[in-house]
Amino acid sequence: MKAKQPKALLILYATQTGNAMDAAERIGREAERRGCSVTILSMDEYDASSLVGEAAVIFVVSTTGQGDTPDSMKVFWRFLLQRNLSKNWIEGMRYAVFGLGDSGYQKYNFAAKKLDKRLSDLGAVALIERGLGDDQHPSGYEGALDPWMSSLWRMLNKIYPNFFPNGPDHVESEMRLLDQQKVEVRYHDISNVDSQFSVDDDLNSRENSIELACSMSLAKFSSKKRPSCFLKMIKNQLLTKAGSGKDVRHFEFEFVSSAIKYEVGDVLEVLPSQKPAVVNAFMQRCNLNPESFITVHPRKQENDIYNTDLYAQRTPIKLKTFVELAMDVSSASPRRYFFEVMSYFATAEHEKERLQYFASPEGRDDLYQYNQKERRTVLEVLEDFPSVQMPFEWLVQLVPPLKTRAFSISSSVSAYPNQVHLTVNVVSWRTPFKRQRYGLCSSWLANLNPHESTIVPVWFQKGSLPPPPPLEPLILIGPGTGCAPFCGFIQERSIQSQSSKVAPAMLFFGCRNEDADFLYQDFWYLHSQGGGVLSEANGGGFFAAFSRDQPQKVYVQHKMRENSRRVWDLLSKGASVYVAGSSTKMPSDVLDAFEEIVSKEGGLPRESAVRWIRALERAGKYHVEAWS
């Protein structure tokens, strides 16, 4: 069959954190440099039924959690799974899939793999073998992206020669890209600005400022508008032993604005504050007037999907406030394209050469070592290249957006009606060059004083741990801060038990040392004694594994095997399994333990035990919430 000859290359991406959008835009830029017209859209901006009329589509997809599709892909993916789509529905369409994942996860690049298979099942033909970017690679996902793109250009040129008028190896001058920034920034006379937006102390003003900053940010993967509400910290408690090397906190917040009825298993997303000194240093380094009032507008381009009329009457925002709320200048590392654009504005020759090298395929690994591995911030990079003065329009486009941080809620609204609790590991680490780094949000929260009136903007979201019915037996596995959501589960079930019958619950907790980081020790023991929700007398139990308290390391999966008969009893009574914690080895080790227990106690061959657990997953009774 002769391939259709499309006029433009369509690139569709699905991202959760922005990496897949970056990769899609990089593929688009490289195609444009070869003379190819490109259309780039997020999957939630594209009607999946239109695939039937497409000739060539590139898909860039990240995998989240335990093999999940990004939120922006869910509607698109549901459409593709419809049973009424025939096996030749998109026959003749050529496609290529590039996935972004982390091989430390059990279901590495699962979203990209299943998309590739489904497109093939519907009759589409792959241009080249799918590419799989890996965060564990020395160059990150770009280690796989560069060679994958080279193969893509050659195959596209072979099938669609009209894409590349001068062939796939002819790259146009890159200077023309400087005329293609996505945004324009308009400056406004302060006397014409509504005074409410110049005052940041007022709650309503803060809410408006956040909504304004989000609406002007280029972070299209972020759907955040107004915060769900504002919180005030009332408790900041250290849970780990001082000097133990771990800093885990218990935070309690009260609702400042309207209270939200959340459920156990929900997630709280927090918008952190950047240090004023860092924001001020960024403003000074970039010669920006912090008191200016601005609006940010998408620049009108050919095939532009934006309706510029929607942006014409935007309310101005103070420039400094926009940077504080929308641009992560203090914690996120800039992308490779940032260095490329910087090279055009470098006036010192040695800086220009170094930036050009970093942006080249040859310099990719060195850039990864300098930038991502060291987690250099935007401000630090700009300070390393003092001759570079980038226009604010480019900074708005290229500085990573300030993102919310998600935490499992560790309380039940039934037990604490006007509060929400979090269990947070205060992140800190040393880079390869021995520089101390701190997590932006966790360290900000840890330094908040409950006696001061700092307000915390938050969004409540559904997590991947649905609240269990009272009569459903529970097997909970939560090592470290993975126990956080289960505090809420146990609080809720304890309240329920006061008025009605509840099913038993079993919890496996793990930490390094009993005396150093046994989180919520008194809480678990309280509910595991005297007929409590976790008591063995009621068919449940609490089991703790202390990995470093003996020569042989002991983890939660070892405690599960020690209590395999109890675990099997609850499973055979219809128990639901909930696993929360680190995404590296723990979820797969726990899954292996379950399979072994089902095989041993159920008298089944291992293959049958594996199918038994898979059936539990399909029935929605095996839930995993894991994070890196």
The two tokens of residue 382 are 């700009």
Is position 481 annotated in a ligand binding site?
yes
Residue 315, marked binder: no
Q: Is 442 annotated as a binding residue?
A: yes
How do beta strands 505-511 and 474-477 pair?
parallel
120 is an annotated ligand-binding site residue: no
Residue 441 labelled as part of a binding site: yes
Q: Is 408 assigned to a binding site?
A: yes
186 is in an annotated binding site: no
* Residue 258 assigned as binding residue: no
Under 8 Å CB-to-CB from 250, ≥6 apart: which residues? 235, 236, 237, 239, 410, 421, 422, 423, 520
Q: Is 611 annotated as ligand-binding?
A: no
Angle ∠(292,294,299) on CA atoms, nearest 5: 145
Residue 63 in marked binding region: yes
Strand 474-477 and strand 248-255: the pairing is unpaired
Does 256 belong to an annotated binding site? no
Q: Would the annotation count 3 as a binding residue?
A: no
Check whether 328 is labelled as a binding-site residue: no
Residue 235 one-letter amino acid:
K
20 labeled binding residue: yes
For the chain, the C-alpha Rg in angstroms (whole number) is 26
Q: Evaluate the CA torsion angle 98, 99, 100, 101 in order and state its sign.
A: negative
- In single-letter form, the type of residue at position 260 comes to I
Compute CA distances 605 → 239, 568, 612, whole Å: 43, 15, 11
The response to whether 94 counts as a known ligand-binding position is: no
Give counts: helices (H), strands (E), the chain.
19, 22
E strand residue ranges, 266-310: 267-270, 293-298
245, exposed or middle or buried, with CB in 10 Å at 0-12, 13-18, 19+? exposed
Residue 440 annotated as binding? Answer: yes
Any known ligand binding at 16?
yes
Q: Is 198 annotated as a binding residue?
A: no
Asked whether residue 423 is marked as a ligand-binding residue, the answer is no
Phi then psi for residue 238, to 5 deg, are -75, 125
Binding residue per annotation — 166?
no
In contact, 517 and 248? CB cutoff 8 Å: yes
The count of other CB atoms within 10 Å of the CB of residue 615 is 11
Is residue 236 within 8 Å of 449, Cβ to Cβ? yes
- Are 375 and 333 in contact by the 8 Å Cβ rule? The answer is yes
Q: How many Å apart are CA 263 and CA 409, to the nearest integer?
A: 9
Report whether 396 belongs to an annotated binding site: no
Nearest residue to 133 via CA among 10, 8, 9, 15 = 15
**419 beta partners:** 254
Is 394 within 8 Å of 341 (Cβ atoms)? yes
Question: Nearest to residue 290, comparing CAs of 277, 306, 302, 303?
Answer: 277
Rounded Cα distance between 266 and 410, Å, is: 9
Closest CA to 413 of 458, 446, 460, 457: 460
Q: Is 217 annotated as a binding residue?
A: no
180 is in an annotated binding site: no
Angle separating helix axes 319-326 and 203-216, nearest 10 degrees:
70
Which is it for strands 229-238 and 455-461: parallel, antiparallel or unpaired?
antiparallel
Asked whether residue 547 is marked as a ligand-binding residue, the answer is yes
Burial of 350 (0-12, 13-18, 19+ CB in 10 A): exposed
612 annotated as a binding-site residue:
no
Annotation-wise, does 17 bind a ligand?
Answer: yes
Q: Is 397 annotated as a binding residue?
A: no
126 among annotated binding-site residues:
no
3-class SS shares of the chain: helix, strand, coil, % to 5: 40, 20, 40
Q: Residues forming the annotated binding site? A: 15-20, 62-65, 135, 375, 405-408, 439-442, 481, 547-548, 553-557, 589, 627
Q: Residues forming the annotated binding site for FAD? A: 375, 405-408, 439-442, 627
Q: Residues forming the annotated binding site for FMN? A: 15-20, 62-65, 135
Q: Residues forming the annotated binding site for NADP(+)? A: 481, 547-548, 553-557, 589
